[in-house]
Amino acid sequence: MTYEWPLYFCLFLALWSAVVGGVFSAFSEFIIAGLLRADPAGGMEAMQQINRTVIKTQFVAGIMSIPVFAIAFGLYAVFVFSGPALLAMILAPAIFVPSVLLMTIFGNVPMNNKLDSLDHTAAGSCAYWQEYGRVWTRLNHFRSLGSILTAGLYIIAAVTLIASDQV
């Protein structure tokens, strides 16, 4: 008997991870760059508002729930699948958790919190804003890459599940 839900779940996790990676990439490529080109007070205030808004969205729910689903799915896969599909299903959360979840929790969020505590009109805030833009973007590139690699691994898992008749 074949069970196709793992194939669809691989594709779902691939799509979900790719969307997260796309949002990160948009911020790294042009949103932060545009905010940094604006007047520092305006750019800072806009990013403060973005950070206050994003925590109430499905985007953050995705960042926090992908690891849970990916780890659980990987553990399930250990007992059911073999070969390259299994390897991809194990590597996906092994990449996503440190590069996206942990980088978010220990890298980007503390920077966001510090930015939020600053008065965007204060003269001393401008120096942090420039540092924020440079460092935060570098961390965000890493999150983009981790999300996109995770998506690719789930696509590889789906294809190899089909090719090896495991679904």
Task: Give percent of the chain above pLDDT 70.
Answer: 99
* Confidence at residue 2, expressed as pLDDT on a 0 to 100 scale: 59
Whether the Cβ atoms of residue 70 and residue 20 lie closer than 8 Å to each other: no
Q: How far is CA 116 from the centre of its chain?
A: 21
As a residue count, the chain comes to 167
pLDDT tens string 32-78: 999 999 999 999 999 999 999 998 888 999 899 999 999 999 999 99
pLDDT tens string 82-128: 999 999 999 999 999 999 999 999 999 999 999 999 999 998 898 89
Whether the Cβ atoms of residue 165 and residue 7 lie closer than 8 Å to each other: no
Cβ burial, residue 92 (10 Å; 0-12/13-18/19+): buried
The residue type of 24 is F
The structure's pTM equals 0.91
